[in-house]
Structure 1
Amino acid sequence: MNRYLALRFGQALLVLWAAFTVAFVLLQVLPGDAILIKFQNPDLGLSPAQIAEMRRAYGAESPLWQQYLHTLWGMLQGDLGYSVQAGVPVRELIADNVPDTLRLALPGFTLAVLLAASLAFVSTLAGWRWLKNALQALPSLFISVPAFWLGIVLIQIFSFQLRWIPVINPGQWEGLILPIITLAVPISAPLAQILIRSIDEIQTQPFVAVARAKGASCSGVLWRHVALNALLPALTVAGLLLGELIAGALITETVFGLNGLGQLTQQAVNNQDVAVLQAIVMISAVGFVGINLIVDLLTPLIDPRLHLYTGAAS
């Protein structure tokens, strides 16, 4: 078990280092220069010599390998760099915007899980064949709907047509209803598909037939014998969906004009603020790798077969 844990932590660190390196290289080769974008503004009245001095102060004139090592060492120490456009440490920008994104992402993911579980279990218990087929077809529809299009449609229906939810000066949580739905619907689709497939597969296993032969009802067999076994593949997929959750949150914030990492990312892209973009990529990577690491460590506790495997690897 100790060897398994060491291997998983080592893989996680390797993935984070690879994500940092790829992001650094791609951001460096992109056209544009945040320092020139800001300081070449004629209104500032800076001379070419002064602009060159600013570039040296920000380390832009250093060789790329020095910039890479400097940025990597800063990340390891918790220093996310300095925003050229905002003129403040990137850590302050992240700290100001992460709570807004979490206030959208966490309820959105919770709703996605509830929606996926409801579709899977209700479709399994549905007595009519047409209703079962209709419910099982919904995840394919959900996964094909672009988040930005869904957000616009929800605004058009519930805000402009029905006037149920205002889009101008809504309450703190009232303004999150439509964004949370927009975020949850596409994310729920893969979870629902995996759950439906897992339930159908597990229901063919011999222990399910034995439980039914003993007189257990269909709902009793589903909740007591099938549900826990079906959750294992869904748990793995849920960890993988974190990347989609973050991307969906950024798009949703842009569509609804919400504060958060989405708006910060958009501003950083427009201004070529490399330090901010590098920090956002690494925060996303840390969250993605961390959640998947937790899932990998929890999975052997749910499935005894994997527990035996990890024990053999110790």
Structure 2
Amino acid sequence: MLAFGIRRLTISLCVALTVSIVAFFLLHMSGDIAQAIAGTDATPEQVSQIRVQFGLDRPLVEQYLNWAWGVLRFDFGTSFYFRDQVTTLIAQRLPVTLALGGISLLLALIISVPLGVLAAVKQGGWIDRAALMFCVLGQALPTFWLGLSLIIVFSVTLRWLPVSGSGTWAHFVLPSVALGWYAIPAVMRLTRNGMLDVLASDYIRTARAKGLRMPTVLFKHALRNAMIPVVALAAVQFGFMLGGSIVVEAVFSMEGLGQLAWQSIARQDFPVVQAIVLVLAVLYIGLTLLADILNAILDPRIRIA
């Protein structure tokens, strides 16, 4: 198990290094950063002065190495627009995004896993057909449209929940529904297909022939093996939620990492954009690593292979 974890950790570190290199060079190749900082009305002398001030006149490789050394010390530089440390900005906004993503994933799992189990047990019945229709509906509704509809119904019309903000738990209800809605179809279909494969296996037929009750067969024997791919998908979906929260946070005006990314992109605040891309990538890679380890614990064949 230790060797398996070391191999996965090595691969994860290589992927994180690659992401940092690609993100840094792509952002620097997207335009003249010194011109973006100075503004369109700046003179060539002012642009040249800013380029020297921020070290933009040095070779890109040297700039990357200086930035990477700062990242290792949790120093992402200073924001061009906010005039504050990027680390401070991310530390202030990241908890909101993590809370939103965690609640959304939990909501998606609570709905999709039991629905997938029921659809597999009642294969071909009205529950199965209704679950599949629900999946199609879930993938067809855009997140921003669903968020706006929830605001109109539950905030404007019924006045049950707040429209925007992130101060209390009530502010996370509607955004979590809007963000978690898109993950429900994928998890539900994977749970259903996994349960169908497991229920058709020999050991399940043997367990039922021995007279075990159906709930015991489903939840003690079948669901554990069917959940192996779901664990990996849940980690991937959580990463997608963290990266895709920019739309939901913009709709509900939440002070999270997604809204900070949108503000930084609009204002060409490159240090903040670089840091957000790297932080989200590292979180995504870490979640994938955790999913691999959990799958290896659930199924020893994975780490043996």
Q: Normalising by structure 1, what TM-score?
A: 0.89
Mapped pair 1:98 → 2:97: no
C-alpha contact 2:79 2:86 (8 A) present in aligned 1:
yes
Shift of 1:47: 6.3
Match of 1:74 among 54, 57, 70: 70
Per-residue CA deviations over 1:97-136 (Å, capped at 9, x if unaligned) read: 1122122121111111111112112334459812221123
Deviates more, 1:11-20 or 1:232-241: 232-241
Q: Name the amino acid aligned to 1:167.
A: V
1:170-189 to 2 correspondence within 5 Å? 172-189=168-185
Change in 2 beyond 3 A, CA 1:166/1:234: same
C-alpha separation in 1, matches of 2:156 and 2:8: 50
Mapped pair 1:134 → 2:141: no
C-alpha contact 2:96 2:166 (8 A) present in aligned 1:
no
C-alpha contact 1:120 1:136 (8 A) present in aligned 2:
no
Deviates more, 1:268-277 or 1:171-180: 171-180
Shift of 1:78: 1.7
Secondary structure of 2:141 counterpart: coil
C-alpha separation in 1, matches of 2:302 and 2:289: 15
Residue aligning to 1:308: 304
Shift of 1:302: 0.9
Deviates more, 1:50-59 or 1:282-291: 50-59
C-alpha separation in 2, matches of 1:127 and 1:63: 62
Residue aligning to 2:11: 11
Q: Name the amino acid aligned to 2:6.
A: A
Residue aligning to 1:241: 237
Deviates more, 1:100-109 or 1:223-232: 100-109
Shift of 1:247: 2.4
C-alpha contact 1:187 1:244 (8 A) present in aligned 2:
no
Residue aligning to 2:35: 36
C-alpha contact 1:147 1:248 (8 A) present in aligned 2:
no
1:37-76 to 2 correspondence within 5 Å? 37-40=36-39, 48-76=44-72
Match of 2:225 among 229, 249, 252: 229
1:88-167 to 2 correspondence within 5 Å? 88-126=84-122, 129-167=125-163
Shift of 1:171: 6.3
C-alpha separation in 2, matches of 1:47 and 1:306: 61
The CA RMSD over aligned residues, in Å, is: 2.2
C-alpha contact 2:243 2:280 (8 A) present in aligned 1:
no
Change in 2 beyond 3 A, CA 1:78/1:192: same
C-alpha separation in 2, matches of 1:307 and 1:278: 35
Secondary structure of 2:195 counterpart: helix
Residue aligning to 1:312: none
Residue aligning to 1:83: 79
Q: Name the amino acid aligned to 1:20.
A: S
Unmatched 5+ residue regions in structure 1? Answer: 310-314
C-alpha contact 2:101 2:238 (8 A) present in aligned 1:
no
Secondary structure of 2:182 counterpart: helix
Change in 2 beyond 3 A, CA 1:5/1:223: closer
Secondary structure of 2:222 counterpart: helix
Per-residue CA deviations over 1:181-202 (Å, capped at 9, x if unaligned) read: 0111112221111111000111
Q: Name the amino acid aligned to 2:38.
A: F
Per-residue CA deviations over 1:256-300 (Å, capped at 9, x if unaligned) read: 111111111111101111111110011111111111111212222
Match of 2:282 among 282, 286, 307: 286
Shift of 1:169: 7.4
C-alpha separation in 2, matches of 1:142 and 1:22: 33
Shift of 1:214: 1.9
Unmatched 5+ residue regions in structure 2? Answer: none
C-alpha separation in 2, matches of 1:169 and 1:195: 34
C-alpha contact 1:119 1:136 (8 A) present in aligned 2:
no
C-alpha separation in 1, matches of 2:197 and 2:26: 43
Mapped pair 1:274 → 2:260: no
C-alpha contact 1:136 1:196 (8 A) present in aligned 2:
no
* Sequence identity percentage: 31
Q: Name the amino acid aligned to 2:78.
A: Y
C-alpha separation in 2, matches of 1:168 and 1:96: 18
Mapped pair 1:215 → 2:216: no
Per-residue CA deviations over 1:65-110 (Å, capped at 9, x if unaligned) read: 2112211222122211211111111101111111221221211111
Matched length: 305
Q: Name the amino acid aligned to 1:14.
A: C
